[in-house]
Amino acid sequence: MTGQQRLELCQQMTLEEKLGMIHGNELFRTKGVERLHIPPFSFSDGPMGVRQEYQATKWIPVGSSQDYTSYLPCNTALAATWNRRLAYESGKVLGREARGRGKDMILAPGINILRTPLCGRNFEYMGEDPFLVSEMVVPMIEGIEENDVASCVKHFAVNNQEVRRLSENSVVDDRALREIYFPGFRAAVTRAKAKGIMGSYNKLWGIHCSQNKKLLQDILRGEWGFEGLVVSDWGGVHDTAEAADSGLDVEMSVTDNFDEYYLANPLAEEIRAGRISEKLIDEKVIHILKVMDDLHMFDGERKSGCYGLPEDRQKLLAAARESVVLLKNSKNLLPIERRNGLKLLVVGDNANKFHAPGGGSSEIKALYEMTPLMGIGMIAGGNVEVTYCKGYDSFTTGNIWDAEHADARAAREAQEKQSGVSANETAEVSENGQAISLNENPEDEVTAQVLTEEQLAMNATYAEEAVAAAAEADVVIFVGGLNHEFDTEGQDRRDMSLPYHQTELITRLQQANRNVVVVMMSGSPVDLTGILDTTHTLVQYWYSGMEGGRALAEVLFGDVCPSGRLPETFPLKVEDCSAHSIGEYPGKEAVHYSEGIYVGYRHYETRKIPVAYPFGYGLSYTDFKYNHFRVDDRSTEEHASFSVNLEVTNIGEMDGAETVQLYVRPINSSIDRPLRELRQFEKEFIKIGQTHRISFHLNEQAFSYYDTTAASFRAPAGTYLIEICRDAHTVIMDQKVTLRKDYLFV
Ligand code: BGC
């Protein structure tokens, strides 16, 4: 369809028909125009797979057996693979399943930057570094959209906490926006040509992002050339005139009074009264028609999808394997040898818990979920004796086959969604049912699961049993960490502590047995200080999808050589995090991002703040040697151009993958800049004894910062170190280069 044809199609519609296309007519669907053969447009969550089917007008699951789907590793797990191909493959599975379930737009991927470890939705995002996020999100979108399904990159923008997420105003300077918070979205638009963007709930420049003209029109469409569809977050619109004129295309919300949505009857009235031009509506309709056309919704050429295919699970397994991060192995306890008669004790709630149904809108009705205990049992082999002790119980739901809990969960969600706020928030509800204000007290928007006396007593017994069993075992694998009571939408964590007295339990297990492997499962860092010194074997594991437990077990037994790297810094304590250290989290009505660009390792490295584990960190069972590092300057008047070459040899005793990280560090810069910034990386699978050549190309972007006066990126002339690093803290080799002139670009 040409632009002219789309315009003509739009001109044939009545105002009511156009309005039907630009707001929800069901919770996850707009209205089509039957007489013109325009179908409704349907959305579905979310980032970890295609969400279960909800009733058209109520937040109550349909309860069908046809919506069990594949459960993908969460975005943090994907980012931890540092493997662009796996992001692409996972995206492909997600897109294919969305299409298979009859969806037009999948509300994924989520890419907000990890500004604080406490944000409840960090697990849905890709960590703290804009370059890593950009490199991973682009292939993921490409994978999704190959299936004639639109992605929806969310939440645009600066939605970095759940506390007061519906109302807070993120006050961020232009430099931080351009260097830290925008690049992932910009890459999604300019490189991956994403077809969808979701405006976030919060405000930027004092205006809600879902109806923010400067953000959605001037920057997204004007500067970046976005040609897709902007959808509001569910309930993110608050004003008819502002939304109509903002570059937003579709208003979605959480209530069932669809005709009263801001872009429904209230908009019709404004247009009829001549206060809003119908042209604005036409633009939206044309954007929607273009996306529909690109998805082949009119020409009968649309690809078909499917879901739950066994071969797709293999792809998710591959991603889950590479997401496992080995943090410590100082006794070489890992990999565990499956010797005859080995007594293996598995301890911890997370070893035996299903996580797929939790987390909020990223919940998944998984076809199955392989827990760590299942994975370990499955591949330990009959000669190894595997026993399990709870050690502690989180007393949370999580069993998808548990009808009683499933009902309770559904009821809670229904209540949350219907009021437009999470269960712990109190909202005043306006006449049309929209949440208009939030609890004054942010304390109520943080997670603090309180166990009853009885539950505490039960946990004391579970701990006793586990410690006694540990004394009899050869090896203990403890699987703890968080769960979706903590890593969840609508709430942040109160602090970084390990819940359920795990620190104490781990310490006791270590006293009872010298061979304790500690596996932490979470979407964000937890406070490890109580166990860092006593723990010789530590693994970070995430919500790694339906095959996660098997992937973890394969790493523990050495069938797979670990190769995950942290996509975020693990600080020692939350006060060390920049936003917290300056008292700007959680903020009040306004959240001042006064730390500017000093987010994550940019803060820890520049200010020399010790951390538990730096960004980019991760160990292997094998060793790699770096050699023949060489940088050649081929810069011209127009562009900086450096080619970087090096060789990496696997000098260990196991085939494995290495992630080569390249950072650029300005020397004697007159401009305030982070110590170093990630500018390239490459993951290579290298067999024992083999050498691979790694080549990078750097242009002016690699040296640039955002110059607010020039409103452009600037790579200033000067001296820089090109650093090849093991992680954001550890330099392996470096070379000095000189940029002979300034380069300015947008
Ligand atoms: C979330 C979005 C989600 C939407 C639809 C909102 O509450 O913030 O991420 O896609 O609900 O469920």
Residue 379 · residue 559 · CB < 8 Å: yes
Ligand 1 pocket test target in 160, 233, 488 with most atoms within 8 Å of CB: 233
Mutate to test the pocket of ligand 1, among 234, 250, 252, 488 (most ligand atoms within 8 A of CB): 234
Give me ligand 1 centre to Cα 125, in Å: 14
Residue 741 CB neighbours (<10 A): 12
Which tokens is 367 given?
Answer: 């076809």
Q: What residue owns the CA closest to ligand 1's atom 5?
A: 234
What is the 3-class SS of 669-728, one letter each residue? CCCCCCCCEEEEEEEEEECCCCEEEEEEEEEHHHHCEEECCCCEEEECCEEEEEEEECCC
Could you give the CA distance from residue 744 to residue 71 in angstroms, rounded to a whole number?
Answer: 44
Phi, psi dihedrals of residue 33, rounded to the nearest 5°: -125, 95
Nearest CA to ligand 1 atom 7: 234
Place 505 in a pLDDT band, splitting at 50, 70 and 90.
very high
For ligand 1, atom 8: residue with the closest CA: 233
For residue 158, is pLDDT > 70? yes
Does the pLDDT of residue 100 top 50, yes or no?
A: yes
CA of 11 from ligand 1 middle (Å) equals: 32
Mean pLDDT (whole number) for 631-644: 98
For ligand 1, the distance from its centroid to the CA atom of residue 493, given in whole angstroms, is: 19
pLDDT at 42: 98
Residue 398 confidence (pLDDT): 52
| Residue owning the nearest CA to atom 2 of ligand 1 | 233
Nearest CA to ligand 1 atom 12: 361
pLDDT tens digits, one per residue of 410-434: 555 555 555 544 433 333 333 333 3
Altogether, the residues listed in the chain come to a count of: 746
Structure tokens at 402: 């548990």
Q: What is the pLDDT of residue 428?
A: 36
Q: Which residue has the higher pLDDT, 381 or 133?
A: 133
Q: H/E element holding 664?
A: strand 656-667
CA distance 406 to 506: 31
Rounded to two decimals, the pTM is: 0.95
Q: Region 180-186: what's the mean pLDDT?
A: 99
Q: Residue 447: which pLDDT band, with cuts at 50, 70 and 90?
A: confident
Mode of pairing for the β-strands spanning 712-715 and 150-151: unpaired
Q: Using the mean position of ligand 1's atoms as its centre, give its distance from the Cα of residue 166 in Å.
A: 11
76: left (phi over 0), alpha (psi -120 to 50) or beta: alpha
Q: How far is the CA of 265 from the centre of ligand 1 (A)?
A: 23
**pLDDT single digits (tens) 140-156:** 999 999 999 999 999 99
Q: Please give the number of the atom of ligand 1 that sits closest to the Cα of 107.
A: 10
What band does 450 get if pLDDT is binned at 50, 70 and 90? confident
Residues with CB under 6 A from ligand 1: 45-46, 107, 154, 233-234, 361
The atom number, within ligand 1, closest to the CA of 51 reads 12
Best mutation site among 60, 422, 489, 492 for ligand 1 pocket (most ligand atoms within 8 Å of CB): 489
When the pLDDT of each residue in the chain is averaged and rounded to a whole number, the result is 94
DSSP helix/strand/coil, 167: coil
Give 44 Cα–ligand 1 centroid separation in angstroms.
Answer: 9
DSSP code for 258 = G
Residues 222, 224, 228, 230: what is their CA dihedral angle, to the nearest 10 degrees? -70
3-state secondary structure 222-242: HHCCCCCEEEECCCCCCCHHH
Q: What is the pLDDT of residues 225-253, one digit of tens each?
A: 999 999 999 999 999 999 999 999 999 99
Task: Give catalytic residues, as residue numbers.
Answer: 233
Nearest CA to ligand 1 atom 9: 361
